[in-house]
Structure 1
Amino acid sequence: MAEDADPGFAPLTARAVLLGERIDTAGLERRDVLSTTPLAFKVGGAGGLAIVFRYGVVVLIGLDTLAEDEVIRGVGPRVIDPFALHEEEAVQLAPLDGRDERAELDGTVHIADLSLERLLCVADALAKSAALAHDERQVAEVLDRIEPWARTLAERGRQPASRRTTLQMLGEGLLVQHRVAGRVAVSEKPDLLWDRPDLERLYARLEDEYELHERAEILDRKLNLIGQTARLITDLMDTERALRLEVIIVALIAFEILFSLGQLAWRIAH
């Protein structure tokens, strides 16, 4: 997969698999490493490639099912907080057909050749799309739990969630926000574009095809909604707690007054 790779290559599949929150790449260095950021190395003897991203995604290019499973098993012990459900994104890489490099609606990406830089460019967009799909599903689950709370508040005028449940919901939203803005860094372009500005057009078209920026912005708005809702819930809980405390204080004062009046009446009577 050198820079002067034959442009007339046979179509092959690139698959991104989200394995967990993070992957510790410190122990995955190999002799045949092709890139360190992200970590990329050859697999098999037919030009297969595995690319490991620290935010939990492995991209497998040109591998059959058995080779993919072998790579995933090898990376498995390095996965931190593995997910039970693996999010996947796949595309078909095909040579140019007389037009520019582009991504088709049917999931085919036409590229000039199989150079490492181009494959890393495709892998970066594919990995971010898989990570966003997981975050979108996680945020949707949080919003599904918010909906009945909002309905109960509108119909009965009270909140049904406990403080612990509210804090858990807020924590899940913060984790997704940290993942999108921090580890995955969807808005940031891959470092290789600094050395290969000629690949910016290809990456821009991949960004548009997977709607990376738009999906990240929608996630950010949903996360803001989750944060506002969680703050509203905690404010209502604090208000109810303060009201109960005031009622208890008033009751204690009234009891003390009645007790004092009772003692005074007893003294007067005797």
Structure 2
Amino acid sequence: MASKVAAKFVSYRVSQVALASHYTDKEPVVAAGSWDEGPSNRIQLLGYGPELDAEGSPRLLAEHRCHGDVMCLRFDPIYQNLFVGLGTGELVAMATTAEEEPGSNNGSGERQRPRLLRLLGQGWRPSTDSFGSGAVSALAIRDGWHALAGWESGRLVCCSLAVEVPDGGCSDAATLRPASGCGGRESVGLDSCCVTGADFIDQNAACTVNSMGQLKLWDLRTGLGQYDKVLTVAGDPKAMHCARRHPAQPHLVATGASGGCLCLWDLRQEKFPVSIVELDDGHVTQVEFHPVQGDLLFVSTMAGQLYAIRLSDSGGGGGSAALTDNPHLTAVLPASQKLPLLSSVRLCGRLLIGTRGRGLCTVQAQQRRQHRKQQQFDDSAASARAVEHPIEAMVLGERLDLRSLARDLTQHGLYQLVPLPAELAGTALMATSREPYTVGGQKRDAVLFDNGAVVLWNMSDKEAQQAVKLFSAYTTEPHSQRDILEQSESMAFVAEDSVGATRVSEDLIQLPAGRDPDSLVLEKFALSDALATSTRLGHLEAQLDRLARDLEPWIASLKEGQNVRAPGDLILSRTGQLYRLRFAASVCDSPPDFYWEREDLEALYGRMSNVLTVARRARLLNTRLQFCLDLCDLLRNQKHELEGHRLEWIIIFLIFTEIIFAIVHLSLELRRSE
């Protein structure tokens, strides 16, 4: 592989880099920011010549000192202003365009145009509240001044920025702030944790990633009050660090996470990535699509590696794509040129790498031709690996009529019922598809519970949607489609010859391939039972969150020392809802009686529950329920006391009235006697 590498060591620790695409055809201009330098933190503009290794390249064009660590750097693609997110929580804008210097002349009759790096007004930060703001942790710029920014506190702001100069003031008093007017509405939202990456999907949508391993989609037309969809990787969540959309196909988004996990998402699909690649042990710090060759994805990791991965057609049509099973790395830094703690990469024709060490590096990679023999070897190696099959658990409603469902499934012949022990009659049902084929040598099963939970094994997205639509007709008090998707649980399972007994790990279930599938029925049921319990617990947690939001105004009134003016029947209704949740949560505390005489299944159920942290979540849910119930008891007692005080005053008034009448009557009697 022929890769041209040029390194430049500087006197500060590089945290972020940005490449101004406007100058790429002439002189590439690079912005680099520092971190952990205290008051000496700086932002520099560097210019590269036609050749990467040219003498004096890169050369310093401009420099600006800043008080906080440089957390984010983005060039505006239209005006070439530089937007900077600082560790102090401020967002600042800087002009980088060349301006004429009066009186300067280079001897040829042309005036020199020095490149400037100056602030456009004072920095801007969102209004502080009880959550604070923290450092700017994510930044995306679109169409000149339209910005999407995220903070470590989870705060999100999407707005059009403008430089405003006060009346009668000078340009030094200008302030960067959200623009007013029809097109300048400021949308403010709050994520559940630190926002680590953001990007615009189109004019009306954006995506963010956070430290909990979630990819969230936001509809900018309705603001940032509530996300539109959340996507996660099955199994143990890994913190995501970056996200970037495809330049030509905005429905494709690449994300990087901890442990070298690189994911490619198709936003038209449900909630799982279409492809996952494990690169190395280092965290993925930056992902960038090539601006012209959209099938080329560049990835940098904390281990100091730079990857160039070719995307392949997934075969689904409609512009779908996927990461290759064995990624062909077209540009990897050799060990002698590898820079430690690779933190930022930007590209436009050539690559620029910034590190948390004291170095900048540019790479111009030459793609090599793939050899057919090597490709055949890679395909055979990929086919030799165990195939993962999906498992999806969801709760369709409060109850599921298993008797009617079993009767109709038998009559219509869509599914074949699997015999289960007599103790499970009326509480659980297991069915397998009657299709004459299997997927990957594994049956496609559905395990249904009377509490409304459904667990689907080895079903494609289309078949799962059809099954959910069929089963939903037999539910009482059905849940909304949004609640079903948000609270669903997802895992994967494989069948391996090397496994003697069923194993459960953080994100994978390993089944023994040598055993008869019928002998795994009860083990699948135990695993499904734990998944269903976790999913049911998630719905209870969501219902409690909604109830808690209704109780917040009452808590605020108590905090201000005011009486809560709530009808008694409303307090009684909230108490009943809380007791209903507590009764449902009590079922999740311990394994069902079915496992008492089946120790092997009880152990399997326990391992699966531990992976899903069912016991801890159930205890936390009961604690929160007890707090809400105590609050309702307090309000009910307060209501009784107020009513008692009211009755006491009524009685006092009646006694006072009776005394007045007695005095009047006595005075009249005295007058008559006189």
TM-score class, shorter-chain normalisation, is 0.7 to 0.9
Please list, as runs of the form range in 1=range in 2, the aligned pairs for 1:49-198 lying within 5 A after superposition.
Answer: 49-84=445-480, 85-86=483-484, 87-96=487-496, 101-104=503-506, 107-113=507-513, 115-181=520-586, 184-189=587-592, 191=594, 194-195=597-598, 197-198=599-600
3-state DSSP of counterpart to 1:50:
strand
Residue pair 1:124, 1:190 contacting (<8 A) in 2 also: no
Aligned partners of 2:511 and 2:569: how far apart in 1? 51
Aligned partners of 1:96 and 1:228: how far apart in 2? 51
Q: How many angstroms does 1:119 deviate by?
A: 1.8
Residue pair 1:40, 1:50 contacting (<8 A) in 2 also: yes
Q: How many angstroms does 1:35 deviate by?
A: 3.5
Report sequence identity in percent. 23
Residue pair 1:111, 1:118 contacting (<8 A) in 2 also: no
* More displaced 10-residue stretch of structure 1: 171-180 or 74-83: 74-83
Report what 2:612 is aligned to.
Answer: 210
1:25 matches 2:367: no
1:223 matches 2:625: yes
Write the deviation string for residues 142-165 of structure 1: whole angstroms up to 9, x where unpaired.
233333322311322422332122
Q: How many angstroms does 1:166 deviate by?
A: 1.1
Q: How many angstroms does 1:96 deviate by?
A: 4.9
3-state DSSP of counterpart to 1:42:
strand
Write the deviation string for residues 5-56 of structure 1: whole angstroms up to 9, x where unpaired.
xxx9632111111011111111122552114432001125222111111111
* More displaced 10-residue stretch of structure 1: 115-124 or 167-176: 115-124
Q: How many angstroms does 1:177 deviate by?
A: 1.2
Write the deviation string for residues 44-103 of structure 1: whole angstroms up to 9, x where unpaired.
522211111111111111112222222222222321111223231111112459677122
3-state DSSP of counterpart to 1:168:
helix
Q: Which has the larger radius of gyration?
A: 2
* More displaced 10-residue stretch of structure 1: 76-85 or 130-139: 76-85
Q: Which has the higher contact order (CA 8 A, sep 6+)?
A: 1
Aligned partners of 2:630 and 2:492: how far apart in 1? 41
Structure with bigger strand share is 2
Report what 2:308 is aligned to.
Answer: none
Report what 1:10 is aligned to.
Answer: 387
Distance 1:200 1:242, change over 3 A: closer
Report what 1:4 is aligned to.
Answer: none
Residue pair 2:455, 2:532 contacting (<8 A) in 1 also: yes
Q: How many angstroms does 1:254 deviate by?
A: 0.7
Aligned partners of 1:193 and 1:88: how far apart in 2? 28
Aligned partners of 2:568 and 2:627: how far apart in 1? 18
CA RMSD, Structure 1 to Structure 2 (Å): 2.4
Aligned partners of 2:593 and 2:434: how far apart in 1? 26
Q: How many angstroms does 1:141 deviate by?
A: 2.3
Please list, as runs of the form range in 1=range in 2, the aligned pairs for 1:39-54 lying within 5 A after superposition.
Answer: 39-45=429-435, 46=438, 47-54=443-450
3-state DSSP of counterpart to 1:81:
strand
How many residues align structurally?
258
Distance 1:103 1:124, change over 3 A: same
3-state DSSP of counterpart to 1:156:
coil
3-state DSSP of counterpart to 2:479:
strand
3-state DSSP of counterpart to 1:244:
helix
Aligned partners of 2:641 and 2:615: how far apart in 1? 39
Write the deviation string for residues 207-260 of structure 1: whole angstroms up to 9, x where unpaired.
111111111111111222222221111111111101100101110111121123
Report what 1:3 is aligned to.
Answer: none
Letter matched to residue 522 of structure 2: E
3-state DSSP of counterpart to 1:177:
helix
Letter matched to residue 167 of structure 1: L
3-state DSSP of counterpart to 1:22:
strand
Residue pair 1:121, 1:203 contacting (<8 A) in 2 also: yes
Report what 2:642 is aligned to.
Answer: 240
Structure 1 residue runs without a partner (length 5+): 1-7
Report what 1:34 is aligned to.
Answer: 418
Letter matched to residue 188 of structure 1: P
Q: How many angstroms does 1:204 deviate by?
A: 2.3
Letter matched to residue 11 of structure 1: E
* More displaced 10-residue stretch of structure 1: 142-151 or 166-175: 142-151
3-state DSSP of counterpart to 1:28:
helix
Report what 2:83 is aligned to.
Answer: none
Aligned partners of 2:561 and 2:643: how far apart in 1? 18
Letter matched to residue 57 of structure 1: A
Question: TM-score if structure 2 supplies the norm length?
Answer: 0.36
Report what 2:229 is aligned to.
Answer: none
* More displaced 10-residue stretch of structure 1: 126-135 or 141-150: 141-150
3-state DSSP of counterpart to 1:191:
helix
Aligned partners of 1:244 and 1:200: how far apart in 2? 57
3-state DSSP of counterpart to 2:605:
helix
3-state DSSP of counterpart to 1:161:
coil
Report what 1:5 is aligned to.
Answer: none
